[in-house]
């Protein structure tokens, strides 16, 4: 049973679990990391909105790094025994706001390009989906009997990878000049995922 649980842990989270041991005895706390990831994702959103090759390349790397660091706060909380209700909700809020900033930035940054007004539509849809998913996933947490207190719902996954891990592709596709099709796919995908979370929430209704 323990082995089955281990195989369900995504690879990036396993790596974060190893790396975070260096922070165990430090004064750094989980909420510090959550706050840092929020600042990083907001900064990435601003850089995407400003546009320009250098800015978007930095933005992609910054956002991907922030999403990887997002695994550190939970692992550090377990390591230090410092889990809290505030940290649980703060992590959820930071994630939802970060993704909303990403889509808003991409929408503004692509507005004057080939997508035109559709860039703003995609950006708005992606941002709204991220924020709605924030609340629907919170509801799923509260209604799921498989989760304990302070545990969060995971993304659909397979063979050590989660659906969310697709965001790591943001950096290479941006650096190789394929940001626009990725933005289109991500905007549509975020909307579909949002609908899935809403459906799951109501399916778990008592």
Mean pLDDT is highest, among 6-15, 146-155, 163-172, 179-188, for 179-188
Task: State the Rg of the chain over Cα.
Answer: 17
pLDDT digits (tens, 9 = 90+) for 130-140: 999 999 999 98
CA distances from 115 to 14, 57, 108, 177, 181 (A): 38, 19, 11, 15, 10
| Helix pair angle (30-50, 85-110), 10° resolution | 10
How many other C-beta atoms lie within 10 A of the C-beta of residue 154?
15
Domains, the chain, ranges and CATH?
2-203 (1.20.120.1760)
What beta strand segments (E) does 46-180 contain?
Answer: 157-158, 161-162
Q: Round the average pLDDT of the chain to a whole number and report it.
A: 87
- Which residues lie across from 161 on neighbouring strands? 158
Residue 152 pLDDT more than 50? no
**Confidence band (pLDDT; 50, 70, 90) for 145?**
low
């Amino acid at each position: 049973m323990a082995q089955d649980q281990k195989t369900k842990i995504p690879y990036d989270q396993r790596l974060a679990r190893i790396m975070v041991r260096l922070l165990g005895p430090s004064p750094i706390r989980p909420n510090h990391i959550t706050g840092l990831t929020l600042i990083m994702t907001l900064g990435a959103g601003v850089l995407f909105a400003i546009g320009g090759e250098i800015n978007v390349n930095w933005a992609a790397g910054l956002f991907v790094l922030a999403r990887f660091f997002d695994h550190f706060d939970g692992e550090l909380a377990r390591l230090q025994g410092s889990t809290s209700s505030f940290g649980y909700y703060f992590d959820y809020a930071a994630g939802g706001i970060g993704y909303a900033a990403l889509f808003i930035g991409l929408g503004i940054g692509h507005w004057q390009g080939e997508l035109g007004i559709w860039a703003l539509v995609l950006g708005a849809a992606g941002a709204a989906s991220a924020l709605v998913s924030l609340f629907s996933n919170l509801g799923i947490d509260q209604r799921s009997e498989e989760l304990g207190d302070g545990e969060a719902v995971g993304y659909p996954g397979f063979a050590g990878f989660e659906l969310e891990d697709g965001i790591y592709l943001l950096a290479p596709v941006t650096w190789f000049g394929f940001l626009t099709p990725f933005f289109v796919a991500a905007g549509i995908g975020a909307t579909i995922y949002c609908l899935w979370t809403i459906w799951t929430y109501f399916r778990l209704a008592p």
